[in-house]
Amino acid sequence: MRRLANRFYDVMETAPEARELLAIHPQPLDAIRQKFFEFLSGWLGGPALFEEKYGHPRLRARHLPFTVNQQLRDQWMFCMNQALDEVVEHQLLREGLRQSLGQLASHMINC
């Protein structure tokens, strides 16, 4: 999960397709990389690292201060899809994660 989280943010930092998405993230991305890894750990059934530090994720509520539109959702998925393709070798796992994360990303749209 750490490799996936780090690759996701590597793509975000370097891909012109994610320019607007990168702009709403606090710099440097070190802290958010760690938080994303901690979230993924618990979300995927591993240790609930995020909850232990920050409480329930309440992702939609945590994202409400930001305008999340379809364009930002698609940029997020662009980064995640590239990270999944590069990090997750098992095809069924990769596609299952892609579908679940796509639903999660769509749920964050708030405008």
Summarize pLDDT for 35-93 with one digit per residue, the tens: 999 999 999 999 999 999 999 999 999 999 999 999 999 999 999 999 999 999 999 99
For residue 58, what pLDDT is reported?
96
Task: Spell out the domain ranges in the chain.
Answer: 2-107
φ, ψ of residue 37 in degrees (nearest 5): -60, -45
What's the pTM? 0.95
Class of domain 2-107: mainly alpha
Measured distance CA(91)–CA(74) in Å, rounded: 22
